Amino acid sequence: MAKQDIKDRNDVYRLVSTFYDTVRNDKTRGPFFNNSIKDWDAHLEHLTTFWESSLFLKTKYSGDPLQTHIDLDKRFNHSISEMHFGIWLNLWIKAVNALFEGDYAENAKHRARKMRTFIFLKMFEARS
């Protein structure tokens, strides 16, 4: 059966949920998330809104992902490394590829690549 492209919020939620199920069970990335996020339902809804906004440019996301990552890095004694962001990206791409194909799916991977680089660099700069 052919995969379809990401087309609406339900698809974005499916992607985000699938991705975070994997992240939560990852031995390297999981501890950062599992020790920080208390309300997973709310977190998944919030990130669905973020990705929906990013992909479809129609939902208004409110939040500051950069500051969130800077604070998280500080809470974990600046132990978040480029390796962690690489794992995050690989898990994201695997989730996208497992579920979808098409222009929006490719855009989801492209935006994640850019986000990974930007957030890691800004997080690293904030350490100084």
CATH number of domain containing 70? 1.10.490.10
The answer to whether position 109 is within a domain reads: yes
Residue 44 lies in a domain: yes
Nearest partner of 72 among 122, 13, 27, judged by Cα: 122
Distance from C-alpha of 82 to C-alpha of 5, rounded to nearest angstrom: 29
Residues spanned by the domain of 17: 9-126
pLDDT of res. 9: 96
Whether the CB-CB separation of 105 and 7 falls below 8 Å is answered with: no
List phi, psi (to 5°) of 119: -65, -40
Q: Judge whether 2 lies within some domain.
A: no
Residue 80 domain-assigned (yes or no):
yes
The answer to whether position 3 is within a domain reads: no
Q: Is residue 1 part of a domain?
A: no
And the tokens for 70? 């800077």
- Say how many domains are in the chain: 1
pLDDT in tens, 53-91: 999 998 788 889 999 999 999 999 999 999 999 999 999
